[in-house]
Amino acid sequence: MSEDKKLDCPHCGERMNKWKTPADSTWGTEFQYVCFNDECPYFVKGWDWIMQQRKARASYRHRYNPVTGKSGPVPVWSNDALKDNIIREEEEAKEEE
């Protein structure tokens, strides 16, 4: 698999967003990639799964850690949860000008 392909969500095929890892997390990386597609089947099915398993209204999104090469779920409690931490590549580029 090419480096580029790894940044596509394996569940929906959409390009994942660069996402700033919260300071209080234990992942130990500056940023990761998270699929923020609200139609992603992984995210859509997660609501039912967590409701059944834990009786809680929450879901998870697909997360890829480029440092370790590992991927896994990141828990979310709403459609917009965690979106504040998305790093917009265009904005990054602008700051460098």
Per CB under 5 A, 34 contacts Zn ion = no
3-state secondary structure at position 59: strand
CB of 2 to Zn ion, least distance (A): 18
Of 17-25, 35-43, 49-57, 68-76: span binding Zn ion (CB under 5 A): 35-43
- CB atoms < 10 A from the CB of 35, how many? 26
CB of 45 to Zn ion, least distance (A): 11
Write the binding mask 2 to 31 for Zn ion: x where contact by CB under 5 A, - elsewhere. Answer: -------x-xx-------------------
Site residues (CB under 5 A) for Zn ion, limited to 43-72: none
Residues 6+ apart with CB under 8 A from 29: 21, 65, 66, 67, 68
Task: Please state the separation of Cα 88 from the chain's center in Å.
Answer: 14
Per CB under 5 A, 82 contacts Zn ion = no
CB 63 within 8 A of CB 33: yes
Per CB under 5 A, residues contacting Zn ion are 9, 11-12, 35, 37, 40
